[in-house]
Structure 1
Amino acid sequence: MGELRGIVRRYYAYKVTNAYGFYLPVSILYLTEVKGFGMEVIGLTGAAFLFAEVAAEIPTGYVGDRLGRRASLAAGNALSAVALGLWAVADSPLAYVALNAVWAVGWAFRSGTGKAWLYEILDAHGEADEFARVSGRANTALMLASAATAVAGGALVTVDWSLPFLANALLSALGIPILLTLPTVESERAARDDAGVEDETFTVGDALAALRLQVRRPEIRWFVAFAALLYALFELSRTFEQPAMAAAGVSAPALGVLYAGFKLVSAGAAASAGWVEDRLGVRGAFALLVPLLGATYATIAFAPVLVVPVVFLTRGVRSLFRPLRNQYLNDRVENVGRATVLSGATMVLSLVAGATKVVGGYAAAALGPIRFLAAAGVASAAAAGLVWVAVSPVRPRKGPESAGGDSDPEASVATD
């Protein structure tokens, strides 16, 4: 247990290097205010990130399963550092589309792989049930680091607009030496099991078979569809919240302080993920969050100044949503191919969110960012509620005997 605590502490340190606090408070305003791009370009560059992430998720998930989690995570940090460093010197919409694509590949290297690494390290020590709690606390560390760097980013932009991006590039690069201190999944399995069983070979065919298997399972298929609607709302909010807050009278330096507040709220929400799961379960939590989001986003249309507290709420909900979503999926997939399956789920979320960003850019240009966010929130919550009622996307975990099929009696009810 003492050894696991040390590993978890170093994992928290690594997560801190994934913070984008320097970048976040000024990234969209940099494109609109400094570069002079319109809402359509903002939507397109945001969509480019997500579409590139879709293209990269399966290959990077496969690399994580085949060649090692730790090397994949290091590649993700390296690519993020390059993209952020070049952000300060790019000059055209096409250049930012390309940079977002590079950054997306780096992000994909860490998404499913990072979740799979943590779950399997915990599982190797007999603590798989702690995934939501440890993941939530890791996100707390991430949010606290983002809060501190967000305040710094708001101050740095008053000196030079390029400084926040360069500082964030350096922070991402620092994650690589920290990763070298973390164990590989294979070494932890060997330490636990002295049987000397060789690692299974995981091929591209195995990866595709794992994905096909999960698509056939209603408890996975409909959950991912439901989660995609909420994820699309979170991504739309994150893309257009800076123009919306600027329209409500928030200045660029003040955004640094506000984003620090956002991160502190998110940190508290992430830290409570285990508590929420214990008391409400994934189903109970999502049943409350959907109507809450719809009602609060509707208020923006009547009182635009409420966009600030609504963004606070969205950040907290997003931080709860992520570990609960990952716990649900991790509990329902096998160790072999886990990173591929989680990456496949992320791929679907990104594809849906990317499409909404392209359309959202034009809608935000026509409606204005404030009215657009209000409409997007109500529409997303309504669609998620419809899926909830129609197909019951959040379902109990099956026993081992039915983990690969649809033999669970509840699985045959209202699934198609």
Structure 2
Amino acid sequence: MLNVGAERPPPVVAKYYLYQATATYGLFWPVFTLFLLRRGLTYTQIGLLGSVSAALVVVGEIPTGYVGDRVGRRNSLLVGAALMTASVFGFVAAHTFPVFAALYVVWGLGMAFRSGSGDAWLYETLEERLDESAFTRVRGRGGSVNQWVSAGSMLAAGVLYSADPRLPFLAGGVVLAAGIPVLLSMPQTDHHTDGDALGVRDAVPVVKRQLSRPPLRSTVAYLALFFGVASAADEYIQPVAVNAVGLPESGLGPLYAGFTVAAAVASYYASDVERLLSTQWAVVLVPALVAAFLVVPFALPVAALPAFFVLKSARSAVAPIANGYLNDHVDAAGRATVLSAASMTYALVRLPLQPVSGVVADAATPVAALAALGGLLLVGGAGVFAWEPPAAPTTGDGSATE
């Protein structure tokens, strides 16, 4: 048995890490909201753009997951990389809300092709070639590679933006495009063959059966609320840091680099967090901590920066733990379809959160929008837990243990 946690990982794992290094938005993400505001968009319109992307995920996740099950996880990742690269280059020339909306459609489709297939590819590759029990560790460390590369590139984002607002997107598109040859060098998995693949008529019943049973249903609901709030809160980091905290625009790159370093450390040690707290309590308690931190800046604006560090770190730690839990609890046949359906649920929750929080930010302040999102996560998360504890251990027949 190969040790996938060794200092020199097996070649297939090294290729996965290299792919994660190219799947970064670090060159443009620290200035993205400012770029949209500079192009004349309002907070409400920016929120609506997020909803456009989320709507595409809702509409496209099951079909794109089905494509991943039929034609292969790697091929689905290739389509996603190509679409996301095209959308980033498109931002360079966009100046109106309809054009940005069209580019978000392309971006959303790219995300949909990637979301279910990426984790399915990794899990099945480990299962076939190494050891699937290492999923959380490899997924977490791959996320850490992505975050470290993002941190380094973020240092250049503000400088590029100051020189020309288009430069971060040109450079970012080149990096995303570099992921295509890396993906071509990665192996296919065997679970997309005719014997294992779902038919079109089989896909929806499988999704319904697997995601409607406890504890997967409450786990997906809880994670959807957490990831939805985290995505909506992400939109306000730049205006809050600049306007409420007083950080200069040139400091956004280093700030985001700091966020990303913290997130990289959290992702790298995700499996340790899981061992320390257990899978269930890692999934439950970390989002609750985020919710509490988001409320504090309403009374103390300077606390927004620590809250953002907690937000970024928590999301990076929870993602591999949650994805490992879901992979462990779904069948091999249709895995990408079911994981895409989970992502679709996340997007369905995000769909109203971003424009509604944008209305709050326009009517009051971005800090007030953050507090509202934190309160929603606290109350909603408590409601889900009272209904059915998420990520509960299961017995051999798949039912939750007490």
TM-score range for the pair, normalised by the shorter chain length: over 0.9
Secondary structure of 2:395 counterpart: coil
- CA shift for structure 1 position 41: 0.7
Alignment-derived partner of residue 29 in structure 2: 24
- CA shift for structure 1 position 301: 0.9
Cα contact 1:230–1:381 (8 A) shared by 2? no
Whole-Å separation in 1 of the counterparts to 2:25 and 2:127: 29
Cα contact 2:61–2:341 (8 A) shared by 1? yes
Instruction: Give the TM-score normalised by the residue count of structure 1.
Output: 0.91
- CA shift for structure 1 position 270: 0.2
- CA shift for structure 1 position 126: 4.8
Secondary structure of 1:180 counterpart: helix
CA separation of 1:250 and 1:201: change in aligned 2, threshold 3 A? same
Cα contact 2:284–2:390 (8 A) shared by 1? no
1:151-170 matches, within 5 Å, as: 151-170=155-174
1:251-270 matches, within 5 Å, as: 251-270=248-267
Which one-letter code corresponds to 1:335 in the other structure?
A: A
Cα contact 1:331–1:397 (8 A) shared by 2? no
Alignment-derived partner of residue 222 in structure 1: 218
Residue in structure 1 matching 2:204, options 208, 212, 216:
208
- CA shift for structure 1 position 225: 0.9
- CA shift for structure 1 position 398: 3.0
Deviations 1:206-242 (A, max 9, x none): 2112112113312111111111111111011112221
Of the structure 1 ranges 386-395 and 354-363, higher mean CA displacement relative to structure 2 is found in 386-395
CA separation of 1:279 and 1:409: change in aligned 2, threshold 3 A? closer
| Counterpart check, 1:385 vs 2:389 | no
Alignment-derived partner of residue 144 in structure 1: 148
Alignment-derived partner of residue 335 in structure 1: 332
Deviations 1:316-362 (A, max 9, x none): 00001111110111110011100000000000001101211121111
Which one-letter code corresponds to 1:310 in the other structure?
A: A
Alignment-derived partner of residue 346 in structure 1: 343
CA separation of 1:326 and 1:147: change in aligned 2, threshold 3 A? same
Alignment-derived partner of residue 123 in structure 1: 127
Deviations 1:226-274 (A, max 9, x none): 1111111101111222122222222222111101111100000000111
For structure 1, the 5+ residue unaligned runs are 191-196
CA separation of 1:369 and 1:391: change in aligned 2, threshold 3 A? same
Alignment-derived partner of residue 7 in structure 1: 12
Query: Between the two proteins, what is the percent identity of the paired residues?
Result: 37
Alignment-derived partner of residue 46 in structure 2: 42
Alignment-derived partner of residue 81 in structure 2: 77
| Counterpart check, 1:231 vs 2:227 | yes
| Counterpart check, 1:365 vs 2:362 | yes
Cα contact 1:43–1:357 (8 A) shared by 2? yes
Cα contact 1:243–1:369 (8 A) shared by 2? yes
Which one-letter code corresponds to 1:152 in the other structure?
A: A
Alignment-derived partner of residue 193 in structure 1: none
Alignment-derived partner of residue 63 in structure 1: 67
CA separation of 1:286 and 1:200: change in aligned 2, threshold 3 A? closer
Cα contact 1:53–1:101 (8 A) shared by 2? no
Of the structure 1 ranges 307-316 and 238-247, higher mean CA displacement relative to structure 2 is found in 238-247
Whole-Å separation in 2 of the counterparts to 1:21 and 1:78: 18
Of the structure 1 ranges 17-26 and 122-131, higher mean CA displacement relative to structure 2 is found in 122-131
Cα contact 2:360–2:368 (8 A) shared by 1? no
Instruction: Give the TM-score normalised by the residue count of structure 2.
Output: 0.95
Whole-Å separation in 1 of the counterparts to 2:305 and 2:85: 30
Alignment-derived partner of residue 176 in structure 1: 180
Whole-Å separation in 1 of the counterparts to 2:196 and 2:48: 41
CA separation of 1:381 and 1:409: change in aligned 2, threshold 3 A? closer
Whole-Å separation in 2 of the counterparts to 1:222 and 1:148: 37
Cα contact 1:47–1:354 (8 A) shared by 2? yes
Which one-letter code corresponds to 1:274 in the other structure?
A: S
Cα contact 1:79–1:102 (8 A) shared by 2? yes
Alignment-derived partner of residue 302 in structure 2: 305
Alignment-derived partner of residue 194 in structure 1: none
Of the structure 1 ranges 239-248 and 94-103, higher mean CA displacement relative to structure 2 is found in 239-248
